Amino acid sequence: MKARYSIAGLIVCILSIVVVYGASDITAYNLGSSESGPGPYVDAIDFTVISGQDQRILALLAGEIEMDTSVFDPIHYDTLNADPDIDVYTALRNGYGQLTINCRDAPLNESVLRRAFAFAFDKQKVTTDIMGGWSQEHDSLVPFVNSWCIEDELMPHYYSAQATLGNQLLNASGLFPYGGDGWRTYKNQTISTIEIEYSSSSVEIAGGIAQIGVDALLALDIHAETKVVEFYECISRLGSHGEYDMVFYVQNFYSNDVDWLANEYWSDYANRPYRNPTNFANATFDACRQQLLNSTTYYEVYNASAWMQRVLHYNVPRLVVYEDTYLQAYRTDEFTGHVEDLGRYITGPWTMTNIHRLDGTYGGTVPVAIADRPDTFNIYVTNSAYSVAVLENLYSSLYKYGPDLKPRPDLAENMLVETHDDNAAVPVGHSKYTIDIIQNATWNDGMPLTAMDVEFTFTYMLESYAYGNPAAADLGSLVSIESTSIYTVVLEFDTESYWQFSNFAYDYILPYHVYGGTPYSSWSSAITPDCTSGPFYFDSYGTDWYRIRRNLVFYYGPPNPAPVVNSAEDLTYVEGTTGNVIVWEVSDDNPLLYSIFREDNLTAFVIDFWNGSDISLDVDGLSVGSYSYTLFLSDFSANIVFSSTTVTVIPATTTSTVNPGIDTLTLLVAVGAVGIIAIVAVVIWKSKQS
């Protein structure tokens, strides 16, 4: 509190030099430039492994952690929601829980068995008994929240248990006759017990779903059982196309794209490491691939993705068993600024960059729980969401997915996209991207980040692809990349794909001065987060904890937009009446301060920290006359906006408006503007020092 009043006193002192003659509608100043901004507000973020959900809930309630990156079981909702210092974020997951099915090995290589299993599986039981109503049934392998999803067009649905229909399919196929013991065979050969694997870290949800899967197979007269496994071993086995029958795990998506369909289920990738873990192969599906990847119009891409969804729905290489409501809890008694993110929800990188103390000052360490240890911090190898939770705060890319999943510039400052129609020098069918990157990006070891780093990164990805690096799978049409100046890079592709931009724009950039001499064959072991350029850097770690710290040389992208102000309407009221209020409708994504002046008093008589909500002022009790009020807003990006309105008070005995001859506020004198800008700079500086 003392700091708050100290800053306010400083503001009053400096702003008292402002002389106001008249007003304008809405005027904005920006102290910074395209190379200035606040960066992260907190000193550090500590990721702590707390494996048990109940233990994470208790730690949150006790204030030992601020957030949990995992979704929590709905049974804890009432307890968490009742705590006044905890908020609960809910959103339909951009992803789902699913059973991955091995389409390569008998008998699950037969699509009729997979389809019969889908009919027999009881998704409604998952919704009611396992998820407690916090989920919905879903079939498409594109999440419901994705705009390309055609869930409502897929028929018939696999929502309810329809074992009778499943058995009819198996009987009609002739492939699964009954043996003498009353169990089905496959081509008159005994079917080995089908195992449905699930992680030991999720006994209630994953284990319960695996058991429903076993019940579905038993209803088809096929032996089945659940199997508890260690998660990373299982995922590694799937990535290397090892042996398995079915595996339950959750799949998340972090964009609104669907070009991943082309690689996730492509026949040519059925034997490629880290691709197509279902081992699915289907010529009809493959026939849509080029249209999905190389089309340039929304209509063509939509038709391709819709047809691919239908093929997958019919052949069931994966069975989606629920799309749940994402429940995350976070404390609100020390920090604020959490960002609702459609891709990363409430604990994503936008929150980590924007979170700050309640009083607006810099500093503090934010403890965050993760449910398991990261598997690796190599960006090209990791399969762990807990590794990603750390890494996504460390690296830069040309663009980032915004909280709305739309692209936002990160390193990129300008981008020119050309085809042959735009520039005859571009070959027919090719697309060329000329990208200027910002000129103040710095690696955390102090070296400048340049276009050479961007060129090196994509070259390294392409060259290491021959040694198994999956990161370049989306770069197959990249035919050249060249840094044409220190801060300009040019990429040329031999396609004009609708997806071309997203195939490269979000890839993490590597430092050339660190990896320039690294053999391409060592990609799986050489890449570490020791040198990065993002808002945080990897600081230290211990047994079950990992600390990232604010990068003091972090670059700043284009300034955040200035506060938005809807000018308050001029107000006229009769002297002596009450309830007269000026209301300014305002908004901003990183608000700082507000102050209100009246032209007959050069000292701000209202001044306080601003939380981004609308601002109102009671103007009762004025004498007959005309008064000009000016609202000043500032944010942490050093944007300053002011807006003025007039209040006229008329005598109770007349309806005419008194006009004392004071001109409408039209001008802030230079010393006033300089004073406003100076104080915001001082406040931001003092906040940083605090």
Superfamily of domain 95-325: Dipeptide-binding Protein; Domain 3 (3.10.105.10)
Please determine, for residue 205, whether its predicted confidence score (pLDDT) is greater than 80: yes
The pLDDT value given to residue 601: 64
Both tokens assigned to 531: 């040198």
CATH architecture of the region 398-533: Alpha-Beta Complex (3.90)
The pLDDT value given to residue 595: 85
The pLDDT value given to residue 476: 84
Provide, rounded to the nearest whole percent, the portion of the chain with pLDDT above 90. 67
Residue ranges, CATH 2.60.40.10, the chain: 2-32+559-689
The pLDDT value given to residue 674: 40
- Which of 295, 302, 305, 323 minimizes the C-alpha distance to 260? 305
Please determine, for residue 35, whether its predicted confidence score (pLDDT) is greater than 80: no
The predicted-structure confidence for 549-568, as pLDDT tens digits, reads as follows 999 888 754 456 778 888 78
Residue ranges, CATH 3.10.105.10, the chain: 95-325
Region for 115 from its dihedrals, namely left if φ exceeds 0, alpha if ψ lies in -120 to 50, beta otherwise: alpha
Q: In this structure, are residues 381 and 522 in contact, taking their beta carbons and an 8 Å threshold? A: no
Please determine, for residue 609, whether its predicted confidence score (pLDDT) is greater than 90: no
DSSP class of 397: -
- Kindly report which listed range (47-61, 143-157, 167-181, 288-302) carries the lowest average pLDDT score: 288-302
The predicted-structure confidence for 278-305, as pLDDT tens digits, reads as follows 999 999 999 999 999 888 888 999 999 9
What's the CA angle centered on 412, arms 407 and 417, to 5 degrees?
80
Both tokens assigned to 585: 């409708």
Residue ranges, CATH 3.90.76.10, the chain: 398-533
CA pair distance 601, 104, nearest whole angstrom: 81
The pLDDT value given to residue 474: 84
The pLDDT value given to residue 20: 32
The pLDDT value given to residue 638: 58
Please determine, for residue 316, whether its predicted confidence score (pLDDT) is greater than 60: yes
The predicted-structure confidence for 457-504, as pLDDT tens digits, reads as follows 999 999 999 999 989 888 888 999 999 999 999 999 998 888 889 889
For tokens 């924007």, the residue is 354
Asked if CATH classification 3.40.50.2000 holds for the domain at 2-32+559-689, the reply, yes or no, is: no
The pLDDT value given to residue 605: 66
CA pair distance 245, 195, nearest whole angstrom: 6
The pLDDT value given to residue 26: 41
Helical packing angle, 111-120 and 298-315, nearest 10°: 80
User: Considering just the CA atoms, what is the radius of gyration of the chain in Å?
Assistant: 30
Please determine, for residue 327, whether its predicted confidence score (pLDDT) is greater than 70: yes
- Which of 257-261, 310-314, 515-519 shows the highest mean pLDDT? 310-314
The predicted-structure confidence for 671-683, as pLDDT tens digits, reads as follows 334 444 445 444 4
Quickly state the pLDDT bin for 455 (edges 50, 70, 90). Answer: very high
For tokens 């002297």, the residue is 575
The pLDDT value given to residue 201: 84
Helices assigned H by DSSP within 479-545: 500-504, 512-515, 523-526
Both tokens assigned to 660: 């004392």
The predicted-structure confidence for 614-661, as pLDDT tens digits, reads as follows 999 999 999 999 998 888 887 766 567 888 899 999 998 754 444 433
Termini Cα distance of the chain:
13
Both tokens assigned to 74: 């709905």
State the pairing for strand pair 224-229/194-199.
parallel
Both tokens assigned to 258: 């669907």
pTM of the model: 0.64
Burial category of 34 from C-beta neighbours within 10 Å (exposed 0-12, middle 13-18, buried 19 and up): middle
Quickly state the pLDDT bin for 4 (edges 50, 70, 90). Answer: very low
**E strand segments, 13-85:** 26-30, 44-49, 67-68
How confident is the prediction for the chain on average, in pLDDT?
86
Side-chain-side CA neighbours of 668 within 13 Å: the count stands at 29
The pLDDT value given to residue 654: 53
- Residues 6 or more apart whose CB falls under 8 angstroms from that of 266 comprise 275, 276, 285, 286, 289
